């Protein structure tokens, strides 16, 4: 009798699992996306790709009724592999990665593909790991493992927490002003408790966690090799040698904050090369440590390469930071800051 009962339970479980994996995630019983406990369940690649059609794909959201799954909860239920394109342009939901893994295999074949798991974020992503690679990024495109940019518009709510990027990113030819980050390229909100283990290669604005930061980054770690072929090459507008490459952030502006972050990876660039941030202006760096090997030609620092290259704007306040790594360069070199 016991044997038949176990077989009956196995039959029920197998059919529930089969149902969940072969139907739309909205059809899985007991899920409506209204709370963490009733989050929409994502079991398969097909479920994940359904987000492309269900979340809002317009930058300026003026009517939430147009977005059936905005502000809804989602939960990753299993590892998902072979994702060869961005899931959607702008994600407005709350995704619990549940400690599961998504493997990216993004080889850009046309300019309409976005080089990241998500193009932009105005919701929340938590406890997600991404593996794989992103290669052949076209001219004019930034790239990142999880989110290309936390969008610069009103009512920005993007938050990334407890995530790990293992994705190797090769972004060799973005135009001036675009770059590469392990977790996100463009951050204007909050990233905390995240780790980058992927090797990141770009031209300028390259960071292990974020390429261009205008927000807050806390308790993050980089172990990957971060390489920029022409860091600090932006000469436009009021800026002189803008841009940079760093273990945590390539470039940080407008009051950006970095605290309790650690770099263990090698950082290599041309100008504005730093263990924590390549270029930092008008913000704060607190309680950070660099253990990695930092190498550049000009303006190279163990914590910050260039501490503000903006006219009439002060540099960052660097407090309680330690550099343990070796710093090499030809001109304007410092254990903490390369050039004020």
pLDDT confidence of residue 64: 60
pLDDT digits (tens, 9 = 90+) for 177-210: 568 999 999 999 999 999 999 999 999 999 999 9
- pLDDT (mean) for 129-136: 94
pLDDT confidence of residue 163: 98
pLDDT digits (tens, 9 = 90+) for 107-117: 876 555 678 99
| Integer Cα distance of 296 and 339 in angstroms | 13
Instruction: For the chain, give the mean pLDDT.
Output: 85
- pLDDT (mean) for 146-160: 69
Backbone torsion region of residue 243, taken as left when φ is above 0, otherwise alpha when ψ lies between -120 and 50, otherwise beta: left
What is the pTM for the complete model shown?
0.89
Tell whether the model's pLDDT for residue 127 goes beyond 60.
yes
- Select, from the ranges 9-13, 211-215, 254-258, 289-293, the one with the highest average predicted confidence (pLDDT): 289-293
pLDDT digits (tens, 9 = 90+) for 2-56: 444 444 444 444 444 444 455 889 899 999 999 999 999 999 999 999 888 777 6
pLDDT confidence of residue 82: 95
What is the count of structural domains for the chain? 1
Has residue 144 been placed in a domain?
yes
pLDDT confidence of residue 11: 42
Has residue 229 been placed in a domain?
yes
pLDDT confidence of residue 215: 92
Tell whether the model's pLDDT for residue 97 goes beyond 60.
yes
CA dihedral (41, 46, 48, 51) in degrees, to 10, reads -100
Has residue 261 been placed in a domain?
yes
pLDDT confidence of residue 9: 42
pLDDT confidence of residue 14: 44
pLDDT > 90: percent of the chain: 60
Report helix, strand or coil for 66. Answer: helix
Has residue 173 been placed in a domain?
yes
Has residue 11 been placed in a domain?
no
| Integer Cα distance of 280 and 257 in angstroms | 10
Tell whether the model's pLDDT for residue 130 goes beyond 90.
yes
Residue 136 confidence class, pLDDT cut points 50, 70, 90: confident
pLDDT confidence of residue 22: 56
Has residue 166 been placed in a domain?
yes
Residue 61 confidence class, pLDDT cut points 50, 70, 90: low
CATH of the domain at 267: 2.160.20.110
Nearest 5°: phi and psi at 127? 55, 45
- pLDDT (mean) for 75-87: 94
| Integer Cα distance of 99 and 109 in angstroms | 30
Contact of 301 with 321, CB cutoff 8 Å: no
281 vs 277: which has the higher pLDDT:
277
Domain that holds residue 264: 31-339
Has residue 62 been placed in a domain?
yes
Question: Lowest mean pLDDT: which of 91-100, 144-153, 328-337?
Answer: 144-153
Has residue 25 been placed in a domain?
no
* Secondary structure string (H, E, C) spanning 155-192: CCCCEEECCEECCEEECCCCCCCCCEECCEEEECCEEE
Tell whether the model's pLDDT for residue 243 goes beyond 50.
yes
pLDDT confidence of residue 94: 95
pLDDT confidence of residue 287: 98
- pLDDT (mean) for 229-252: 81
Q: 62: which residues sit within 8 A by CB, 6+ positions away?
A: none
């Amino acid at each position: 009798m016991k044997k038949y009962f176990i077989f009956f339970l196995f039959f029920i479980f197998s059919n529930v699992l089969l149902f969940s994996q072969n139907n739309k995630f909205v059809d899985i019983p007991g899920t409506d996306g209204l709370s963490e406990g009733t989050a929409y369940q994502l079991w398969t690649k097909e479920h994940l790709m359904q987000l492309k059609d269900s979340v809002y794909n317009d930058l300026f959201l003026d009517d939430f009724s147009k977005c059936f799954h905005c502000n809804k909860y989602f939960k990753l239920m299993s590892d998902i592999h072979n994702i060869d394109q961005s899931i959607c342009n702008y994600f407005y939901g709350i995704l619990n990665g549940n400690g599961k893994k998504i493997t990216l295999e993004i080889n850009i074949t046309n300019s309409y593909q976005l080089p990241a798991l998500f193009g932009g974020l105005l919701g929340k992503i938590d406890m997600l790991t991404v593996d794989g690679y992103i290669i052949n990024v076209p001219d004019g495109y930034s790239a990142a493992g999880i989110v290309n940019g936390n969008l610069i518009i009103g009512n920005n709510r993007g938050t990334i927490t407890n995530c790990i990027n293992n994705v190797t990113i090769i972004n060799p030819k973005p135009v001036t002003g675009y770059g590469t980050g392990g977790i996100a390229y463009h951050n204007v909100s909050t990233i905390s408790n995240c780790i980058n283990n992927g090797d990141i290669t770009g031209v300028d604005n390259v960071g292990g966690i974020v390429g261009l930061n205008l927000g807050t980054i806390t308790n993050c770690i980089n172990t990957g090799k971060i390489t920029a072929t022409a860091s600090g090459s932006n000469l436009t507008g009021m800026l002189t040698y803008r841009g940079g490459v760093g273990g945590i952030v390539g470039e940080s502006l407008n009051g950006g904050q970095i605290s309790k972050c650690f770099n263990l990876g090698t950082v290599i660039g041309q100008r504005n090369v730093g263990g924590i941030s390549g270029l930092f202006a008008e913000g704060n760096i607190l309680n950070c440590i660099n253990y990695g090997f930092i190498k550049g030609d000009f303006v190279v620092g163990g914590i910050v390469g260039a501490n503000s290259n903006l006219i009439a704007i002060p540099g960052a306040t660097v407090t309680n930071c330690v550099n343990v790594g070796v710093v090499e360069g030809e001109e304007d070199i410092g254990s903490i800051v390369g050039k004020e």
